[in-house]
Amino acid sequence: MSDTAKIDRRWEPLVKEAFDSEIIERPSLTYWQDSWRRLKRNKSAIASLIVIAFIVLSAILIPFFWGYSYEEQELTLSNIPPKLEIYQLDNENYVYITSEYKVIEVTKDGKLIKLADLVNDDKLGKKCYYDVNGNTVLIDYSPYFNAKSEFIKLERAYKKNPIIKVSDYKYLTDYYASQGASVETITLEEARHIMEKRIDRFQVKLNDQLAKPFRKVSNKTFIWGSDSLGRDMFIRVVYGARVSLIVGFVAAIINFVIGVFYGGISGYLGGRVDNIMMRFVDIISSIPMMLYVILLMVILKPGLQSIIIAMSVTYWVGMARIVRGQVLSMREQEFILAARTIGASTQRILFKHLLPNAMGPIMVSLTMQIPSAMFTEAFLSFTGLGVAAPKASWGSLCNDALQTLTVYPYQMFYPALAMSITILAFNIFSDGLRDALDPRLRK
């Protein structure tokens, strides 16, 4: 009985719920909300944004409470690296020996006290004597020095006679004697190896007793070391951040403003005006900009202002082109026609309709200009045309460090690292921004 009743009901008309036919799956979002959501999902873009925020905040805030200023010099404490290998003289006295064989008194955990008093500098015998709180410290760098000059002779002799006899060279004899080994001949590579790696660069003798390296500590006075004029590297890199960021942002913004006006007007007016304006842009862009930035820098006096001026004069063309392209394509779109049909004024059209829609590529372009500007500034500073001493920018810091790269690599490392990370972060962020604003562009 119930069977037939059930079968019957199958053939009865279906009662459709109201929303069966036209369900729209997801709530609709505005373009900006949608883009923001997409951006949030892009982990590397968000990470980059955080890095940028961190750097900007550091650049602004750190100089206020940091102990040193970027121009304070302490010539006696120049070129001290961030990691020190210190020697213990006795219970209270510790020293660090610079690569120029100067003695710096330090504390046990790495704070620099002062340059020790030089008692005697025996340049001939390759030794020097310092006084550290009543103790006499001898720095003897003759072993290495002599070994090196012997090696040079050895190399020359090698060219005539490829056999190297240990007994001919004092440093080799001494070395093998100290090893308790008896060797007659060795190869060139071994001889070089012994000279470079087996002989102490210098020996530290306290009151005639050989002092051994105590331990490695981090430099507590200059956490990233000091430069050739005894200035704190850390604060100089932070200050460099300020300079680079300011240049980046200001140049990008000025380019943006000029470019938007020029491109916007050119695109909107169209016709002959557009043609002429773009011709001008074409000529300017076919001239290699870098050259002219450099030339301008030669003319204007060096400094932050000049860099910004030089870059603004030359790099706005890129933005102008993009804005004009956007305006041109927007102009033809139907919603502009619709707005005009209901009688909106030109200004209203421009600001309320055109610009918000063109904003996407413009914003992306803007965020790409910042690292570009920073790079240009660094490049200029590196070539010696940027900010003037004692002001620091990352580029000029690298330039300063170039001479002594092999001896004091840390002076190049920190500014280079800071610069690379910042530019990288901006690039990743602008990539992410572009993906978020127009996912069609991405693959």
Q: Residue type for 228, please?
A: S
Query: Which is closer to other proteins, CB of 55 or CB of 419?
Result: 419
User: Can you tell me the distance from the alpha carbon of 36 to that of 169, in angstroms, rounded to the nearest whole number?
Assistant: 73
User: ω into residue 409 within 30 of 0, thus cis?
Assistant: no
Please tell me whether residue 295 binds other proteins under the rule CB under 8 A.
yes
Distance from the Cα of residue 80 to its chain's centroid: 21
Please tell me whether residue 278 binds other proteins under the rule CB under 8 A.
no
Residues in binding contact with other proteins, number by CB under 8 A: 48
Query: Which is closer to other proteins, CB of 1 or CB of 18?
Result: 18
Stretch binding other proteins (CB under 8 A), from 17-25, 216-224, 233-241, 309-317: 17-25
Stretch binding other proteins (CB under 8 A), from 2-10, 148-156, 168-176, 341-349: 2-10
The answer to whether residues 336 and 353 touch, using CB atoms and an 8 Å cutoff, is yes
The answer to whether residues 138 and 129 touch, using CB atoms and an 8 Å cutoff, is yes
CB of 49 to other proteins, least distance (A): 16
Site for other proteins (CB under 8 A): which residue of 1, 14, 18, 124?
14
CB of 385 to other proteins, least distance (A): 7
Query: Which is closer to other proteins, CB of 210 or CB of 388?
Result: 388
Which residues, 359 to 418, sit near other proteins by CB under 8 A? 371, 375, 378-379, 382-385, 395, 398, 402, 405-406, 409, 412, 416
User: Can you tell me the distance from the alpha carbon of 241 to that of 381, in angstroms, rounded to the nearest whole number?
Assistant: 13
Beta-carbon neighbour count of residue 191 at 10 Å? 22
Query: Which is closer to other proteins, CB of 50 or CB of 287?
Result: 287
Please tell me whether residue 9 binds other proteins under the rule CB under 8 A.
yes
CB of 284 to other proteins, least distance (A): 9
User: Can you tell me the distance from the alpha carbon of 392 to that of 326, in angstroms, rounded to the nearest whole number?
Assistant: 39
- Main-chain dihedrals φ then ψ at residue 214, nearest 5 degrees: -85, -65
DSSP 160-222: H---EEGGG-HHHHHHHHHHT----EE-HHHHHHIIIIIS-S-EEEETTEEEPEEEEEE-SSS
Residues in the chain: 443
- Binding-site ranges for other proteins (CB under 8 A): 7, 9-14, 16, 20-22, 25, 282-283, 286-288, 290-292, 294-296, 298-299, 371, 375, 378-379, 382-385, 395, 398, 402, 405-406, 409, 412, 416, 419-420, 423-424, 427-428, 443
